Every structure is written in C-alpha cells, then in structure tokens.
C-alpha cells in the first residue's frame, strides 16, 4: 500500500488558505507512507520532500496572478484550471489511487479511471447548482448580473458523477449533493482540522470596546450584506465591527450602502489573522454558502463564541446556545439578536467561548490526518 496516491491541487502548496489546509492533509499521507506524487500550481513548503512535488512553478504563479484581473470573475479561472488539468494528465505517474478537487481535474480524472485507479474527489462547497441558485438571489437583490458559468458547471457535474468517492467537509455539503441526486454511499464526510498550538486564546481578555469580527473574503457569498444590516439594526455607537479580508468586486455596492455605520472598521487583507482573533469578543460567519469555514474553528480554538449561518458547514461543530449560535443564513435580525444576547450577557459569552474552545481541541489536524489515512487504507 506504500506510495499509492497521486494527488493534484491547483493551489500554491503552503501558500496560505487552501494551500495550507491541503499541506496538512498531504503531510499526514506522507508520514503514513502513502504519498507518491503531488501536482500543484506552485509550492513554497519544506514540509514535504521535493521529489514528491511536481510543480508548474513560475508559470502557475503567473496564471494565478492573471486571474485576479478577470472581469467575469470566473472565465479566466476556469481556463486556468483547464490548463492545469491538462498538464496534470501529462505528468501524473501511475498509481492505485488518484485524488483531486472539483473544477480542476476532469481530463486527469478520466485518465485515472481509464488506468484503473480508485478516484477521490474533494468538494469544499455545496453542490455547484445549489451554490449558483443561492448566489443569484443575492446578485438580484443587489442589482448585479446573475451568473451561469455554464462550462464550469457542466465540468464539475461530470467530475462528481465520474469519481468513485466524494470527500466533503460537512453535513451541509452532503445534504446538498444528495439533494442533487448523487448517491449517499459515495459521499464521505471529513471535517477539517485546526492548529490548536497556534490558535489559542489571548493571555488577557480583549479590551473595550465590544468587538465583533468578520474574517474572510468580503463578498456576497460570505454574507457580509447580512452582517452589515444586523449592525445597522443594532445601532451601537460604542462597539466595533472589524471586517478583515480582501474586498471582492461584488461587495462594493454593499460597502457603499453601509459606509457610514458607526464602529465599522474595514481592515483589508491581513496575512496573520491570529492577532485579530485574539482582540475580538465574538466571531461571526454569516455565509450564504460555505462548505466548512476553517476560520470558524480557528475562532473557536481562540476561545470565542461564534455565530454562524445554517449554510456554513462548520455549524456541525456548534451546539446551538452552548458554544455559539446558528442563524438562518439570510436573517439579519437573527444575527443582531445573537449579538445582542452575547453583549448583554458577558458570563454567557465567556462560557460559550470556553465550550467552543473545548470542541476545537478535539478537532485537530492530527485527528483529521488519522481519519484521512484510515480512509485511504480502507480503499
């Protein structure tokens, strides 16, 4: 069973975000002696032996950079993923197991199946047709053109049908796939882990004023519009809402609409998110759609009570009313009510934060890696 897995992911390995999460997975597979080859757009890690990594290098990085300037917000990324997929199909080594992610692997997945591989497909969201449906409602509400992304949607649908097993991160994603007709028996749920050695509560309690934290890309998909409306409804003038993350084009009208809210602090992209987490009193993830939401578990590990939408996969880890609150994704009133409760009852907020931290401590990357290794060995 050694050296049995070839793995592709169109990210900068160890370069932040998903690149870091995937690296945690791959380290576990390597330590178990299961990893044969990793194909990536680029890499900056020293945690894996170099001979295991096949990288597009500077070409991969340039393609990613170009995608940042895509006026359609999907077409260049789609084409870049197709180029990556064709490259993978040419450089992939023979192996019993092929593992990749949706949207980047149709050609290589077809080749792996033709070669008799067992195939695993990672999905970090709900079913793409559900994602499109929910997002187009938001685009209509904010006067933006609705999207179809037809070529990408067709590709992902083919990939999901073709793969032997689909690995999702939450019940939310699992329900969405089953609702779109995929058989439940091919779906495996494997929630992500958290680095509890790094993400810990601050040595001292956060200072006044009361501080609420949103952390992630500032976009309609992440639900920033509902959090800002909740903040308006609360009308607080002696509290702060920190919005930390890169502002995406579809949220500009939202931010303009709420630009004069008292206490709103647009922090932009911050490379090190730990400091912001340790200065907050409450964390909110109001996503319209998020297959998991790793920042939620990182906030929990830092001892924060969390408020999440019912369209956020990490809600699986939250006991409503004990370690946080789960709110209907499009309910600004629901977010406002939860925030009011936590601010008005500091002892409740403290006990919720402690319960959240205890949960996160059981959801480490070591636990995740062992589950992943066991899964691969079973197949």
Do residue 171 and residue 253 come from a single domain?
A: no
Do residue 120 and residue 241 come from a single domain?
A: no
pLDDT band at 2 (very low <50, low <70, confident <90, very high): low
Do residue 55 and residue 169 come from a single domain?
A: yes
Do residue 149 and residue 249 come from a single domain?
A: no
pLDDT number for residue 272: 86
Mean pLDDT of the 218-234 span: 98
The answer as to whether 203 is a domain residue is: no
The answer as to whether 200 is a domain residue is: no
Range of the domain at 133: 5-193+365-378
Say yes or no to pLDDT of 151 above 90: no
Say yes or no to pLDDT of 274 above 90: yes
Do residue 178 and residue 248 come from a single domain?
A: no
β pairing state of 210-215 and 165-168: unpaired
The answer as to whether 204 is a domain residue is: no
Q: Is the pTM of this model over 0.85?
A: yes
Do residue 112 and residue 235 come from a single domain?
A: no
pLDDT number for residue 3: 66
Say yes or no to pLDDT of 320 above 80: yes
Read off the tokens for 15.
């370069």
Read off the tokens for 32.
């178990």
Directed axis angle between helix 150-162 and helix 75-91, to 10°?
40
Say yes or no to pLDDT of 358 above 90: yes
The answer as to whether 205 is a domain residue is: no
Give the list of residues 6+ apart from residue 247 with CB closer than 8 angstroms, or none. Answer: 218, 255, 266, 268
Do residue 224 and residue 354 come from a single domain?
A: yes
The answer as to whether 341 is a domain residue is: yes
pLDDT number for residue 303: 97
Task: Kindly report the CATH number assigned to the domain that includes residue 49.
Answer: 3.40.50.2000
Do residue 30 and residue 126 come from a single domain?
A: yes
- Note the pLDDT tens digit of each residue in 254-271: 999 999 999 999 999 988
Do residue 302 and residue 371 come from a single domain?
A: no
Share of the chain above pLDDT 70, in %: 99
The backbone region for 203, taken as left when phi is positive above 0, alpha when psi lies in -120 to 50, beta otherwise, is alpha
| Domain count within the chain | 2
Do residue 93 and residue 228 come from a single domain?
A: no
pLDDT band at 52 (very low <50, low <70, confident <90, very high): very high
Share of the chain above pLDDT 90, in %: 83
The answer as to whether 95 is a domain residue is: yes
Taking the CB of residue 195, how many other CB atoms lie within 10 A of it? 16
Say yes or no to pLDDT of 366 above 70: yes
Do residue 83 and residue 27 come from a single domain?
A: yes
Do residue 153 and residue 264 come from a single domain?
A: no
- Note the pLDDT tens digit of each residue in 162-198: 999 999 999 999 999 999 999 999 999 999 999 999 9
């Amino acid at each position: 069973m050694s050296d049995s897995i070839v793995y592709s992911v169109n990210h900068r390995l160890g370069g932040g975000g998903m690149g870091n999460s995937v690296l945690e997975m791959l380290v576990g597979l390597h330590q178990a002696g299961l990893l044969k080859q990793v194909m990536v757009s680029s890499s900056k890690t020293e945690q894996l032996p170099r001979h295991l990594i096949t990288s597009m290098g500077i070409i991969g990085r340039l393609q990613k950079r170009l995608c940042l300037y895509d006026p359609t917000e999907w077409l260049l990324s789609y084409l870049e993923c197709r180029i990556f997929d064709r490259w993978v199909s040419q450089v992939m080594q023979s192996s019993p197991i092929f593992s990749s992610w949706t949207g980047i692997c149709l050609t290589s997945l077809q080749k792996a199946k033709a070669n008799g591989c067992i195939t695993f497909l990672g999905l970090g969201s709900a079913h793409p047709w559900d994602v499109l449906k929910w997002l187009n409602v938001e685009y209509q509400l904010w006067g933006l053109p609705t999207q179809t992304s037809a070529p990408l949607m067709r590709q992902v649908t083919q990939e999901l049908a073709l793969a032997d097993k689909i690995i999702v991160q939450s019940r939310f994603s699992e329900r969405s796939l089953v609702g779109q007709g995929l058989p439940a028996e091919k779906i495996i749920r494997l929630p992500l882990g958290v680095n509890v050695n790094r993400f810990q509560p601050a040595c001292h309690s956060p200072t006044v004023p009361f501080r609420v934290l949103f952390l992630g890309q500032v976009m309609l998909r992440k639900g920033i519009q509902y959090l800002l409306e909740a903040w308006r409804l609360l009308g607080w003038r002696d509290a702060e809402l920190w919005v930390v993350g890169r502002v995406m084009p579809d949220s500009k009208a939202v931010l303009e609409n709420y630009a004069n809210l008292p206490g709103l602090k647009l922090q932009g992209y911050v490379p090190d998110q730990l400091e912001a987490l340790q200065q907050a009193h409450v964390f909110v993830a109001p996503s319209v759609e998020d297959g998991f939401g790793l920042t939620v578990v990182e906030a929990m590990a830092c001892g924060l009570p969390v408020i999440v939408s019912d369209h956020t996969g990490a809600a699986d880890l939250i006991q409503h009313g004990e370690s946080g609150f789960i709110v209907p994704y499009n309910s600004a009133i629901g977010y406002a009510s939860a925030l009011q409760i936590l601010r008005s009852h500091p002892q409740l907020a403290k006990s919720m934060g402690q319960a959240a931290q205890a949960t996160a401590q059981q959801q480490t990357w070591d636990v995740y890696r062992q589950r992943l290794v066991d899964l691969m060995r079973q197949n």
